[in-house]
Amino acid sequence: MSRVYARIQDVYGTHTVVEIVREINNIEEEWSPDFLQTLIEITDMEPQPEVGWIYDNGDLSPPPPYVPTPLGERSLAISNGCDVRSTAKPALNAKYFADGPVWQKMTNEVLYIVSFNKFSGGLTQVEMPTKDGTVLITDKNDFKNIVQAIGDWLTLWDSYVAGNAESPPDFMTIA
């Protein structure tokens, strides 16, 4: 039966399992002495340690559970999109982009609408990509309300990250 080893390496000041190594024939002949010094045999350990486990004073244990920071939560929320829900027009309900080129296009378009009271380029409607498809927006006020909701959502997230709010925002409601 081949033996199994955990390779331990210092990761940000913590001795961590970075690799599981399985012996092929004879581990002492398969690897250099320097590499062998980084290994701990785990063949008979139950539960079997995995990459990411912590090695401390001869003991291996699972890493502590991940606790996201407010900034990490914000990043994940933004990548998932802002959930905008319309009480009057359910067709507008979607997870809208809150960053990147689509968000930039939305903010540019709302600036045009505010300046000239119409969609840009002579359009009578805007097909807006969302995280879950596309939404056809035919009313410039609906468009402004969506962009305002996303902007408010981002501001609420910033407030939460700064410690000025107890919980992050959820979905945003528009008429």
- The pLDDT of residue 39: 96
Q: What is the pLDDT of residues 20-75, one digit of tens each?
A: 999 988 899 999 999 999 999 999 999 999 999 999 999 999 999 989 999 999 99
| DSSP structure class, residue 135 | E
Can you list the positions of beta strands (E) in 30-156? 39-41, 54-56, 59-61, 82-86, 94-96, 126-130, 133-137
What does the alpha-carbon distance between residue 37 and residue 136 come to, in Å, rounded to a whole number? 62
* 77 Cβ contact partners less than 8 Å away, ≥ 6 residues apart: 157, 168
Q: What is the pLDDT of residues 103-142, one digit of tens each?
A: 999 999 999 999 999 999 999 999 999 999 999 999 999 9
Structure tokens at 63: 């890493």
What does the alpha-carbon distance between residue 66 and residue 59 come to, in Å, rounded to a whole number? 20
Whole-structure pTM over 0.85, yes or no?
Answer: no
R_g of the chain, CA atoms, integer Å: 26
- The pLDDT of residue 66: 86
Structure tokens at 172: 């945003």
Helix (H) or strand (E) holding 72: helix 70-80
* 39 Cβ contact partners less than 8 Å away, ≥ 6 residues apart: 5, 6, 7, 8, 21, 27, 31
For the chain, the domains span 4-61, 70-174
Place of tokens 């609906």: 142
The mean pLDDT of 5-16, rounded to a whole number, is 96
The mean pLDDT of 70-82, rounded to a whole number, is 97
pLDDT higher than 90, residue 1: no
